[in-house]
Each structure stands twice: as structure tokens, then as C-alpha cells.
Amino acid sequence: MKVLANDGLSQSGIDALQGSNFEVITDTVPQERLIDFINDNSIDVLLVRSATKVRKDLIDACPSIKVIGRGGVGMDNIDVDYARSKGIHVINTPAASSSSVAELVFGHLFGGVRYLYDSNRNMPLDGDTKFKELKKNYAKGRELRGKTLGVIGFGRIGQEVAKIGLGCGMKVIASDPFVEQANVKVELFDGQSLSVEIKTESIDSVLRSSDFISLHVPAQKEYVIGKKEISIMKEGSALVNAARGGVIDELALIEALENGKLSFAALDTFENEPTPAVKVLMNGRLSLTPHIGAATSEAQDRIGTELASQIKQLLITN
């Protein structure tokens, strides 16, 4: 059987599949040529990340496909229900990248409270001539310890973010319409652990009470954070989106940064991905990364082996 990993696959995943006699193709086929390639090569399994789109037209045109796999959590680039209605298995790896995304969130948070996102832009330009001026500009940093972290979307990734927040000495509150409470287990290197029960509350309550907000929600038809939601946030609070593009109204976000309502914000995903708005890219109070939440070697290894395990179970065991 043939597997096309159109957006790439870790070597561990390739090895696991090849060990069970799957042929793994890792060519990146352009979207416009994908249907022909799948049919010409009788592809059984199509694996994607966020770049490749698997819509109704492709599903209808490629009868050889038995499994569609998404390396990661969100599956908004796949017509999931339609594929399943055609008898195609649709799989993903919801837990594999949780730690990686959570660590990126805190990379942005630590960088935000100490102005690293701006300092790293200006030190190479002016560090040798304006050192004292830059030192003064960045001398009013804050600590995360003792602050309140609000997590909107309290699934696997949201709970991983909560673990790090608790470990940093933060108060963690959360909102999620599908989760009433969660027991968050903070594990230490030596096997010791601490469990903290967090009961979710309304999104408005979280917005009003938090010094920092981290979003972990699926793609939405409407904004989760717009002008109204920003208006009830604390003065000088900050916002991180490492979830999906389009859940924040970026125009409202820019306005809030420019008028000082928010002290900074961080985006790993964007409304107009992969061509973010210039106003977003150029704003000096935004910490930016190009959708790399799951892009660690460890996460990609877990994604690869988990996809391989599910594929083998579906196509060999059954």
C-alpha cells in the first residue's frame, strides 16, 4: 500500500510504516496536481499538515484513498464529515504536539514581559550606539509569577499551558463550553507531581480577571476575541494566539495595541495565512512566529509514530 505524506513526515513515522511494508512517498505535490498524482500512483493514504487542502472535489476524484491523516490537531483543511460519509477513515494526532505548542506560548509570554521581541530587533541595529537608551527602554519588565493566566479553550493544549503556568507560580483560570473542570497534573523531573483542580468559568470572567490570555480553540466562523471582548480585558493585559488563524479580529487587536489597552500580543497563526497583513507584521508590540507551534523535533516524531500506528491498525489489523 502507498502513503503520500504531502506535507512531510518524520523519519520515525516513515520507518514505522516501511517496517510494515508501506511505500512512503514524501514528495510535495502542488495542490493543483494532487488529484492526478494520487490517481496515477494509486495512493491509499494521504497525510497532510496545514498546507494541503483535502476538499470534496479531491475526495470524489480519488477513489483509491482509504485514509486521510492530519499531522496535528485542527482538521479545518479537510472536509472530514464528507470523507467519512464516503467510507474514508480520517485521523489526526491531537495529543502529540500539545507540549510543543504550550512551550511556544510561554516563549512568547517570557519574550513579551521582557520586551525580547522588540529588543532583538533593535539591538543589532543600535546596540553599539544607543546602548543606554535601549537599556532604559526595556528596563520596565514584568514577572509572570503571581500573575493570572487565562486559558480560553481547555482541552489538551490548554491544559498543557496551564501546567507551565502553575509551574511558574501563576494563578490559572480557564473557560471552555465543553469542559466543566479538569485535574491538571504538574509533573516534575524526579517523578513527583502536584495535581490542581481547575473549574472553568465564563469567557467574560476570564477576560476581566486575567493579566495574560492564551487562546486554544478550533477554527470558528466568528471571532472569539473581537473589539467587545478586548474592551473588557484588563488595561495593560496581553494576548497570545497559538491556536487557529481567524479567531482574533486583527484590526481590533492592532487598535488595542496602539491605544495602550493591551501591552503586547503574540501571534503564531493569522487571519490571512500564509500572507499576514502588513499592519500585523510591522506592529512593534506584536511578537510573531510563522505557525510553528508543533514544529519541534520531538513533536514531529510523536506525530509520525502516532499516525503510523493508527494507519497500521486501520489497514492491517482490519
Annotated catalytic residue 273 = yes
Average pLDDT, stretch 238-251? 96
% of the chain at pLDDT higher than 70: 99
For every residue of the chain, DSSP letters joined together read: -EEEETT---HHHHHHHHTTT-EEE-----GGGHHHHHHHTT-SEEEE-SSS-B-HHHHHH-TT--EEEESSS--TTB-HHHHHHTT-EEEE-TTTTHHHHHHHHHHHHHHHHTTHHHHHHHHHHHTTTSHHHHHHHT-----STT-EEEEES-SHHHHHHHHHHHHTT-EEEEE-TT-SEEEEEEE-TTS-EEEEEEE---HHHHHHH-SEEEE-----SS-SB-HHHHHTSPTTEEEEE-S-TTSB-HHHHHHHHHTTSEEEEEESS-TTTTS--HHHHH-TTEEE-SS-TT-SHHHHHHHHHHHHHHHHIIIII-
Kindly report the pTM of this predicted structure.
0.89
The contacts of residue 92 (CB under 8 Å, 6+ apart) are 69, 70, 71, 72, 73, 75
Per-residue pLDDT at 242: 96
Annotated catalytic residue 89 = no
Catalytic residue among 244, 271, 285, 306: 244
Per-residue pLDDT at 72: 86
Cα–Cα distance between 154 and 100 in angstroms, integer? 16
Average pLDDT, stretch 232-254? 97
Average pLDDT, stretch 80-93? 96
Annotated catalytic residue 143 = no
- For residue 124, cis peptide bond before it (omega within 30 degrees of 0): no
Average pLDDT, stretch 311-315? 95
Instruction: Kindly report the number of other CB atoms within 10 A of residue 231's CB atom.
Output: 11
Q: What is the pLDDT of residues 115-132, one digit of tens each?
A: 999 999 999 999 999 999
What dotted CATH number matches 98-288? 3.40.50.720
For residue 317, is pLDDT > 70? no
Q: Where are the domains of the chain?
A: 2-96+297-317, 98-288
Q: Tell me if 2-96+297-317 shares its fold with 98-288.
A: yes
Per-residue pLDDT at 318: 57
Per-residue pLDDT at 154: 98
Interior/surface letters 173-191, b for 16+ CB within 10 angstroms, e for the rest? bbbbeebeebebeeeeeee
Q: What is the pLDDT of residues 88-99, one digit of tens each?
A: 999 999 889 999
Catalytic residue among 70, 156, 291, 302: 291
Cα–Cα distance between 64 and 18 in angstroms, integer? 19
What's the pLDDT band for 167 if we cut at 50, 70, 90? very high
- The strand pair at 193-199 and 181-187 is best described as antiparallel
Assign domain 2-96+297-317 to its CATH architecture.
Answer: 3-Layer(aba) Sandwich (3.40)
What's the pLDDT band for 74 if we cut at 50, 70, 90? confident
The whole-chain average pLDDT of the chain stands at 96
Per-residue pLDDT at 316: 87
